[in-house]
């Protein structure tokens, strides 16, 4: 049995409306943060730091870099 370990947990930081690059229209999103934790017997004990942040479209389920929120809702989405 492992007593010590590490892993990640995702936490919702906020929500709102953005222009989804996949659907090319205004959709609801959730801003999420992924953090690494140290565990003792499967109980998170010590937060080791943030791994990253991302935006998840609540309509299509796609995930994007949180920089996508810098684009205005009514601005055209550029093809990458």
SS3 state at 68: helix
Model confidence, pTM: 0.76
If one counts every other C-beta atom within 10 angstroms of the C-beta of residue 29, the result is: 25
pLDDT of 5 above 80: yes
Q: Which two tokens stand for residue 57?
A: 């479209």
DSSP structural state of residue 24: T
Q: What is the pLDDT of residues 32-79, one digit of tens each?
A: 999 999 988 878 888 899 999 999 999 999 999 999 998 776 545 444
The answer to whether the beta carbons of residues 34 and 10 sit under 8 Å apart is yes
Residue 80 confidence (pLDDT): 38
Nearest to 27, CA basis, from 52, 78, 79, 64:
64
């Amino acid at each position: 049995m492992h007593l010590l370990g590490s892993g990640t947990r995702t936490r919702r930081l906020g929500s709102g409306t953005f222009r989804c690059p996949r659907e090319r229209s205004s959709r609801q999103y959730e801003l999420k943060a992924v953090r690494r934790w140290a565990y003792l017997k499967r109980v998170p004990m010590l937060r080791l730091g943030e791994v990253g942040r991302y935006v998840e479209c609540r309509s299509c389920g796609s995930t994007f870099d949180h920089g996508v929120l810098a684009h205005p809702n009514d601005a055209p989405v550029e093809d990458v």
